[in-house]
Chains A and B, each alone.
Chain A
Amino acid sequence: MLLELRGVSRRFGGLLAVADLSMTVAGGAIHGLIGPNGAGKSTVFNLITGVIPLTAGEVFFKGERTSGLRPSEICRRGIARTFQATTLFREYTVLQNVLVAAHLVTTPGLASALFWSRPYRERERRARDRGRTLLEALGLGPVASQVADTLPHRDQKALALTMVLATGAELVILDEPMAGLAAQEKAETTSVLRRLREQGVTVLLVEHDMKAVMGVCDTVTVLDHGVRIAEGTPREIQTNPAVIEAYLGADEPGA
């Protein structure tokens, strides 16, 4: 198992947002995490990536415990994420955004930055080339020198995804990669996810577009009120009575 959550809980005051959640994500899969609003999906992502601390439980990545580490250290171990509200370095160009994200792959030392040595400049050139290649692959080549803030929504989403890939992560966690996209753009994102799987990158995603989730995921986990209520292939999930109840609500007597 690439990622394993063991008895993970998170309490916000009186609210138990995630309750004793255990789940695993297999390497090389596209794994969906779904559930009604407020089910705790984004909280689970925040717990895995160290953005907020766990109340109880442990997270393991490639067999090593990652819960309790700084987010940057968790990223260094190979987990990178996007945010639900697409977050970018808004004042920077598209390429500069990717260069910041590639920080781990091409670490700039303070001393070498001061002296601008030949190896430093060489490394910078390679980092830029690598950034451009990634941008080309995700169709952002033509806007590489545009300021991120001026991009259309679709390109901002694509940039956020490119940045996550630029970290060199083995597990990418995507919070609603399809939100706000047109049908054609959703299809493009789906094919990007499939291409990632071919390249051996594991994807864990939260998404509200059920058609997209069922179409692309190998495994789906369903959360409701912070509790895992089902897990299985898309086909199994679609016919699971507990899932249907969670989404549609139980029939009220006399209704």
Chain B
Amino acid sequence: MELSRSAGVPSAGVALIALAAAALPLVTRDSYYLDVATTILMNLTLTMSFRLQVSTGQINMAHISFMGIGAYASALLVTRVGLSFWATLWIGPLVAAALAVPIGSVALRVSGPYYFLITFAFSEVVRLFFNNFFEGLFGGPSGLVGIPKPDRLLGLAFDGKLELYGLMAVLCVGVALALVRLDHSRFGLTAGAIRQADLLAETLGVNVFRYKLTTFVLGSFIAGLAGVFFAHFRRVLHSSDFGLEPMVLLVVFTVIGGTGSVWGPVVGTILMTIASELLRELHHYEILVFGAVLILTMLFAPEGLVALPGTARRLLRRLRGRAPAAAGVGLAP
């Protein structure tokens, strides 16, 4: 929020991410660290696109399903049809976005808890579909295996961790740039207005349904993009990769950082992905730890970790008896 003072600042933030991503290979080329970093960037793409929808007040519990749709679409188009990864990198997200139009049109007729439930139900349908239907195609419970790495592009082979990391970094920075610009534009301003008072926005001439559908479809496109990368990075797909547990983690990552600005998911995802690696020993119990962290965040920093400095500053100002600071989202006045 505090970062939205001028138009230059948001782009500078993305440049910082890009710089950090570019600097990592100079520090270490250890395949484990590259793996973790790639996962962070992939998760970041997901949480940022999830937050895009939160910005209009939607908690889309089917977000991970659109990642799955992109992943399965690309995996099948490459292995069965023989398309190049570089083609499916676009086709996968487009498939996810195309399916998001009718699904969003139905789900967005309701809001609040009903929206949460309807999207959750949809995500379960998608997961069960990948798990139980067309076993010859989706691989059933044993998963879809034998997905190749991305093929060569412009003489570059994508068979090492470093190249895959580089590819994900480029995708993630591209997505971040687009989303940051959107957030700081009139579109982002209107989206935030819808979250604060949707009826007021509607009576002022904002077609709330169309705005929500646009963010739903755009968010699904980006989730599909992350999915395509995921398929060719992990090279095996299980329906549970797109089930409730990863979806809950996605929500936790986003909420812990804060949904007030695009920087919340960035902070939340980086911290929590690293935490998840450190807690690897705990296996499935790690979600207990995450749950506790989420509760603590909700109690003591409901606007997320990124809002803490601003809250502290306002508190200090109040203690000194000065007027509360302006903390607007979106356009600089």
Interface residues of A (CB under 8 A from B): 49, 51, 70-73, 75-76, 80-81, 83, 87-93, 95-96, 99-101, 103-104, 106, 108, 110, 113-116, 120, 124, 127-128, 144-147, 150, 163-164, 167
Contacts and interface: CB of A to CB of B under 8 A. Distances in A.
B190 to A, nearest CB: 6
B190 A100 contact: yes
* B: contact size bracket: 35 or more
B326 A87 contact: no
B199 interface: yes
Interface string B175-186: 000100110011
B203 interface: yes
B173 to A, nearest CB: 15
Nearest to B202: A71
A117 to B, nearest CB: 11
B70 interface: no
Contacts of A116: 7, 181, 185
A223 B227 CA distance: 59
Contacts of A104: 204-205
Given A100-B206, A116-B185, A91 B326 contact: no
A91 B327 contact: yes
B222 to A, nearest CB: 13
A89 B192 contact: yes
B190 A93 contact: no
A114 B178 contact: yes
B186 A145 contact: no
B84 interface: no
Nearest to A74: B203
A210 B112 CA distance: 40
B1 to A, nearest CB: 9
A171 to B, nearest CB: 13
A106 B187 CA distance: 12
A71 B327 CA distance: 29
Given A92-B189, A101-B204, A108-B190, 14 more contacts: A75-B202, A81-B203, A91-B327, A95-B333, A100-B206, A103-B190, A104-B205, A116-B181, A116-B185, A127-B186, A128-B333, A147-B324, A147-B328, A164-B204
